[in-house]
Amino acid sequence: MPTDRPTSRDVARLAGVSRTTVSLVLNNVPDVHISPETRQRVLEAARQLNYYPDASARRLVSGKTSTIALVWHRGPDQMYRDAFLPGLLQGATRAARRYGYYVLFRPIEPDEPDDAWVELARGRHTDGLILSGPRSDDTALLDLHRDRFPLVLHGQLPGADIPSVDVDNEQGAMTAVRHLLALGHQRIGMITNAPLAYTASRQRLEGYRRALVEAGLPFDADRVRYGNFDEESGRQAMESLLSLEERPTAVFIASDMVAIGALRALREHGLRAPEDMAIVGFDDIATARYFTPALTTVHVPAFGLGWGAAELLIRIIEGDLPNETQVRLETQLVVRESCGAHVR
């Protein structure tokens, strides 16, 4: 916009008052009595000049940016995580708006240093950060936390006491496996979503193990294969499972993307889900319901995670720290076709 932008001085002049009064009226400062006529004159002048206070000046004087940032680490799991981005972002922005905050989106590309986001915090571009996909070797993160910069993780960083929002992976996996057990399966295999270096992967595996043990069944490492985020890893994992002496009758696959590949492997062997093998996935990506067969899967509430992370962060920013800063959201089993429950 050209240079003719009105300032509070212009409004004051037009309304015949001081800039103080303009500020007081426009910000609706409470416990300040200003005559209704004056108030009206200011409002009218502002409207007439199409005046909006300058955000930069406001930020400087208030010491607040009214902005939070979502830092989005990209990596080998990009496609996997992209599936959650729209929901997560929508949840975060909705919560942010509710409290009067804006949301800055900052992806960290694989070719950037892991801590490329710290300048956002140190340079006061934002009042707080949501970090999605934290890396445990990120010392900048720990430093910032020590300096009391408001931070919330989406995901988990074992060992650090940084506030975080995540799904209860173990519970979700247990629910999935219990469902297969209830359908009468005894030989249940698993394909993980990712290598065990990923916390979520370990937790989902642990949920699988616990559900088996709880049912008095042995945990057999031979029935576990390791996925790696993508379809191809699922295809290979299922291939390997199919070559087993004692084939599982059901497989819990801790990622829908990986499950897609597993389903393909099944088709390539002339096998059908759920008739020849029951499948339960994890994530409930947007198109899971449209697969053939429609995928029974564990729903991850992306919107809720985004909302929860933003709300927790804003409470921290505003000094209203809750007792519990490790938020775990429940998942929900969505029963469709691939588990075979509808057949019975």
Partner DNA sequence: CTGAAAGCGCTTACAG
Binding site for DNA (CB under 7 A): 5, 7-9, 16-24, 26-27, 29, 32-35, 38, 51, 53-54, 56-58, 60-63
Question: Minimal distance in Å, beta carbon 228 to a second copy?
Answer: 16
Q: Which is nearer to DNA, 38 or 240 (by Cβ)?
A: 38
Distance between first and last Cα of the chain: 66
- The answer to the question of residue 54 lying near a second copy (CB under 8 A) is yes
Quick one: which of 73, 130, 149, 227 contacts a second copy (CB under 8 A)? 149
In 194-219, which positions are buried (b, 16+ CB within 10 angstroms) versus exposed (e)?
beeebbbbbbbbebbbbbbeeeebee
Kindly tell me which of 9 and 269 has the beta carbon lying closer to DNA.
9
Residue from the set 32, 47, 109, 139 that interacts with a second copy by CB under 8 A:
109
Q: What is the 3-state secondary structure (H, E, C) of the chain?
A: CCCCCCCHHHHHHHHCCCHHHHHHHHCCCCCCCCCHHHHHHHHHHHHHHCCCCCHHHHHHHHCCCCEEEEEEECCCCHHHHHCCHHHHHHHHHHHHHHCCCEEEEEEECCCCCCCCCHHHHHCCCCCEEEEECCCCCCHHHHHHHHCCCCEEEECCCCCCCCCEEEECHHHHHHHHHHHHHHCCCCCEEEECCCCCCCHHHHHHHHHHHHHHHHCCCCCCHHHEECCCCCHHHHHHHHHHHHCCCCCCCEEEECCHHHHHHHHHHHHHCCCCCCCCCEEEEEECCCCHHHCCCCCCEEECCHHHHHHHHHHHHHHHHCCCCCCCCEEEECCEEECCCCCCCCCC
Q: Does 268 interact with a second copy (rule: CB under 8 A)?
A: no
Please identify, using beta-carbon distances, which residue of 206 and 293 lies nearer to a second copy.
293
Stretch that binds a second copy, among 34-42, 78-86, 305-313, 332-340 (CB under 8 A): 78-86
List the one residue from 55, 182, 321, 343 that touches a second copy (CB under 8 A): 55
And the tokens for 211?
């559900």
Residue 326's binding partner among a second copy, DNA, none (Cβ under 5 to 8 angstroms by kind) is none
Q: In angstroms, give the least distance from the CB of 25 to DNA.
A: 8
Query: Of the listed pieces 27-35, 37-45, 76-84, 322-330, which binds a second copy according to CB under 8 A?
Result: 76-84
Segment contacting a second copy by CB under 8 A, of 172-180, 272-280, 285-293, 318-326: 285-293
311 binds a second copy (CB under 8 A): no
Instruction: Count CB atoms within 10 A of the CB of residue 220.
Output: 15
Candidates 116-124, 169-177, 205-213, 331-339 — which segment interacts with a second copy by CB under 8 A? 116-124
| Residue 325 contact among a second copy, DNA, none, beta carbon within 5 to 8 Å by kind | none
Least CB distance to a second copy at residue 210 (A): 31
124 is a contact residue toward a second copy (CB under 8 A): yes
Binding interface with a second copy (CB under 8 A): 1-2, 5, 50, 52-57, 59-60, 63, 65, 67, 70, 74, 79, 82-83, 85-86, 89-90, 93-94, 102-107, 109, 119, 121-125, 147-149, 231, 260, 264, 267, 285-287, 290-292
